[in-house]
Amino acid sequence: MKKIAVLGTGSVGQTFATRLAGLGYEVMVGTRNVSEKLSTPGKDGAKNAFATWHESNLNIKLGTFAETAAFADIVLNTTKGLNSLDALKLATEKNLENKLLVDIANPLDFSKGMPPCLVPELSNTNSLAEEIQKTFPKTKVVKTLNTMWCGLMVDPSLIKGDHVNYICGNDETAKSTVKLLLNEFGWKNDNLIDLGDLSAARGTEAVLPVWLRIYGAKKSAAFNFNIVS
């Protein structure tokens, strides 16, 4: 059984884990502290959303960031962008060495009000993906899927017709592997726009500011961009 690791327990992580398990992958989801994550009450004092999700997905393993990174050769980063570097450091450089890291996170900064801006030091002349690559030089980082609602990431057929997903990274073999995974989710190669090396993440992460404004105008996240010519 093919193994895959998902770092992060939010709605994006849950969405990937459920979908990958449905595709026949052996999945482990990583978090800082498993028992604390499961036992922390939700906002209303009841079971939190992740614990509720976990009860319906007991076939999906849980582990610390380090255990999860050690578990598989393909690691998805679905943590909040502001926390991603810390989470990956907990996963450890050794556990990520020679691994393929698919970075789906966005460096959003909610501290200055809504809608969030990008973290200044992780945008414009830098990106979260590039910072991860610099911090873990022996890991092959591929950026993709970060420009849309998570439902579409794992099932593009939720919207009829063509719409696009960007992909970039410094390692061509790693990008090819990710494209095959994207095909399993339902992405057609014609709709995968390869933007070249990882510095293109400066562009794809910068889609978020306009995405958030369109979301605000449409009052729905179930949209995506198509490129027409």
Q: Binding residues for its own copies, per CB under 8 A?
A: 112, 117-118, 120, 123-125, 159-163, 166, 168, 193-196, 200, 202-204, 206-207, 209-214, 216-218, 220, 222-229
Q: Which residue shows structure tokens 């510095």?
A: 199
The answer to whether the CB of 32 falls within 8 A of the CB of 55 is: no
Distance of closest approach, residue 113 Cβ to its own copies, in angstroms: 9
Nearer to its own copies, 54 or 202 (CB): 202
The answer to whether the CB of 63 falls within 8 A of the CB of 92 is: no
Nearer to its own copies, 138 or 213 (CB): 213
The answer to whether the CB of 180 falls within 8 A of the CB of 172 is: no
The answer to whether the CB of 158 falls within 8 A of the CB of 165 is: no
Distance of closest approach, residue 193 Cβ to its own copies, in angstroms: 6
Distance of closest approach, residue 229 Cβ to its own copies, in angstroms: 4
Distance of closest approach, residue 158 Cβ to its own copies, in angstroms: 10
Give φ, ψ of 56 to 5 degrees.
-90, 0
| Integer Cα distance of 15 and 78 in angstroms | 10
Nearer to its own copies, 186 or 209 (CB): 209
Nearer to its own copies, 38 or 193 (CB): 193
